[in-house]
Amino acid sequence: MESSRAVVAGGRGSHPDACDTPARKLLFDLVSTPSPSGEETAAAERLREFFEANGREAWIDEVGNVRAPADDSVLLTSHIDTVPGDIPVEVKSALESAYDVDPAEENEALWGRGTVDATGPLVSMAVAAVETGVSFVGVVDEETSSQGARHLVADRDPPDAVVNGEPSGWNGITLGYRGFLAGTYVNTSESGHTSRPEPNAIQHAIDWWAGVEDVFDPADSDTPIFEQVTTKPVSFDGGLSEDGLAVEATVAVQLRVPPSKTVDEVHELAEGELTTGSVHWKEPIPPVMESSRTPLARSFRVAIREQGGDVRLLRKTGTSDMNLFAAAWDRPMVTYGPGNSDLDHAPNEHLPLAELDRAVTVLSEVCRDRR
């Protein structure tokens, strides 16, 4: 790839023949280094090593984020952690069902946990940051508590613009995410014979959750998922207490919040369905919807078109660290990165190497345009 500055691999060991560029070598190394949430240290060290090998100051902060500050006209940031899963790391053909494969182009892809979510985006940003001299942060714990992003917004001034790294496809930019509200319902009732008509704690839990599902059931079945509050129980535990004197019920739940509502509104409606018991809510993540008309979004459209891509503007039904950045920093931002997000957390997670290359080029052009 053409660059305004030399980029060295800063790598270790041998790489497959197809992994013959700094980005591809770094991707292979990081995907080969397990980094589930809470166990990112080895991958963070490899990332820090990459920056130092390319003449950039970099360090690992107190929560485990890799910090490489520079020109704050753009901050490139993605997450180091992955979900658990042992997928053999190897180079082989991309699936045509997952990617638009051009027979005239290279079809080699790197398979392994994290290639898409989000080590591919992370690597494309690290290489683009070295090429263009902009700021970079690799954050930890995105898949669990978002501890890295929460620490980052509390610990530094806002940059001029933010590009968050998640898979959008090399020709797509993500502008919106739903928010996230998670909680645990708990209730206890006196034990008694099952022939008694009074509802026990388990029945109260079922009734509460049925009420929550009803209150958020969309009036129009054609309402897009992105614009709905969706509800999901993720665990249910209930039965007699250890001493046999009570019936206990515990339900862990998650609600996704569209940008048309606030987390507080959804929280109030869910609480309004309570007749007994209580819900212990975790710290919420607000929804975000960015404009497609910011100078940053325009830079992406231009860069993607220059590489021959048809620009896709995306809204995602999940949640990312961009939600936290948008809540803390009133700055233009988008989410971008190579890879098909349908492969997030999947057993066939893989990323075409040509897609990684295109993403590096797009990111580098965007950063040069914004400087």
| 246: three-class secondary structure by DSSP | strand
The stretches of 289-352 forming alpha helices (DSSP H) are 295-306, 321-328
User: With left for phi above 0 and alpha for psi between -120 and 50, is residue 83 left, alpha or beta?
Assistant: beta
The stretches of 133-200 forming alpha helices (DSSP H) are 147-155
Are 125 and 66 within 8 A, CB to CB?
no
Judge whether 81 counts as a catalytic residue. yes
Strands 162-165 and 333-336: parallel
Judge whether 321 counts as a catalytic residue. no
Q: Annotated catalytic residue: which of 40, 142, 160, 290?
A: 142
For residue 236, count other CB atoms closer than 10 A to its CB: 15
Distance from C-alpha of 137 to C-alpha of 57, rounded to nearest angstrom:
12
Structure tokens at 32: 């080969």
The length of the chain is 371
Distance from C-alpha of 111 to C-alpha of 91, rounded to nearest angstrom:
6
For residue 28, count other CB atoms closer than 10 A to its CB: 25
Distance from C-alpha of 236 to C-alpha of 150, rounded to nearest angstrom:
29
Q: Annotated catalytic residue: which of 81, 290, 321, 349?
A: 81
Catalytic residue numbers? 81, 142
